[in-house]
Amino acid sequence: MEPLTISPINAFSDNYIWLISDGSNGFVVDPGDAAPVMAALTALQLQLSGILITHHHFDHTGGVAELQSSTGCKTWGPVGSPGGPYDHTLQEGAVVSVLGVDFSVLEVPGHTLDHIAFYSESQGALFCGDTLFVGGCGRVFEGNPPQMRRSLEKLRQLPAETRIFCAHEYTLANLHFARLVEPNNQRLQTFLEECEEKRRASLSTVPSLLGAEREYNPFLRWDEPDVLGTLKRLGRLQDDSHDAVFTAVREWKNQA
């Protein structure tokens, strides 16, 4: 099977709606706005076959009803979500066939309690909504920091070549914060410069690779001595448990 095409549809000020296509049909992930999706489908002459939802926030679901009405497509979303009802509700371990490709469902609560992610090993692709960003992670609105860290640990264990298709262009702000946490991380500095160049050219910094994220994303580096050292030096660390380190970094980012 040919690899599916995955391309971004820009929405609002910094959202990405992901369009998955086989050349004739398409799925979209987290369509907060129907208009740019319909425009992309028309331009590419695609039929919308389905919608995948990672969590219930309106900037991820606001276009669902209109897209369903316009195209008759089906929806897949998390069980127990206040954003439903969906045609198909999903829990950990479920598998969704997207244009003939299987995507596994991972429960990743923290940002919201209903948050899920979609992962395809064959495509090397993860759609993670607002759980993991390039250089960062989502705010913890409904869950708690240890829960969020466990969700990120689940994602951190995926293969290094996995492409991270997150839902926002937050990269530069995330990486500038990451430099505060690890000022001596040369891999981080190099990547920041690459991303700054992309944004100057109005190019997306997403997707990134999970293996690279492990090298510079402070929210995946709770066991990195340099991260602990910075937190201790600034008096931000209560103890050196993984949960305490992650919580300290998340609280610091909330204030940044």
CATH code, domain carrying 39: 3.60.15.10
Residue 84 has what pLDDT?
A: 85
Q: Is 242 a catalytic residue?
A: no
240 belongs to the catalytic site = no
Q: How many CB atoms lie within 10 A of CB 12?
A: 13
Alpha carbon 88 to its chain centroid, in Å, reads 21
What pLDDT is stored for residue 256 in this prediction?
A: 84
Residue count (the chain)? 256
Give the DSSP H or E segment for 104. Answer: strand 101-107
pLDDT < 50 positions in the chain? none
Identify the active-site residue in 56, 111, 114, 115. 111
233 φ/ψ angles, rounded to the nearest 5 degrees: -60, -35
Among this protein's residues, is 168 annotated catalytic?
yes
Bridge partners (DSSP) listed for residue 17: 9
Residue 1 has what pLDDT?
A: 61
Q: In terms of residue numbers, what domain contains 86?
A: 5-255
Catalytic residue (choose from 22, 30, 33, 55): 55
Question: Is 60 an annotated catalytic residue?
Answer: yes
Assessment of whether the complete model's pTM goes beyond 0.85: yes
Classify 41 as helix, strand or coil: helix
Q: What residues form DSSP beta bridges with 150?
A: none
Task: Please count the other Cβ atoms lying within 10 Å of the Cβ belonging to residue 186.
Answer: 10
Asked about 115 being catalytic, the answer comes back as no
| Contact call for residues 140 and 250 (beta carbons, < 8 A) | yes
Which member of 57, 102, 239, 240 is catalytic?
57
Q: What is the pLDDT of residue 49?
A: 98
Is 57 tagged catalytic?
yes
Give the strand pairing for 47-52 and 74-78.
Answer: parallel
CA atoms within 13 A on the CB side of 237: 21
Residues facing 77 on adjacent strands: 89
Instruction: Based on the residue annotation, tell me whether 55 is a catalytic residue of this protein.
Output: yes
Count of structural domains, the chain: 1
Closest CA to 53 of 10, 114, 109, 124: 114
| Given the residues 22, 30, 59, 114, the one annotated as active site | 59
116's CB contacts (< 8 A; 6+ apart) are 54, 55, 77, 78, 90, 92, 105, 106, 107, 108, 129
- What is the C-alpha to C-alpha distance for residues 219 and 120, in angstroms, rounded to an integer? 23
Active-site residue, selected from the candidate residues 168, 223, 226, 243: 168
- Given the residues 33, 56, 60, 114, select the one marked as catalytic: 60
Distances (CA, A) of 48 to 71, 74, 96, 104, 151: 6, 9, 16, 21, 30
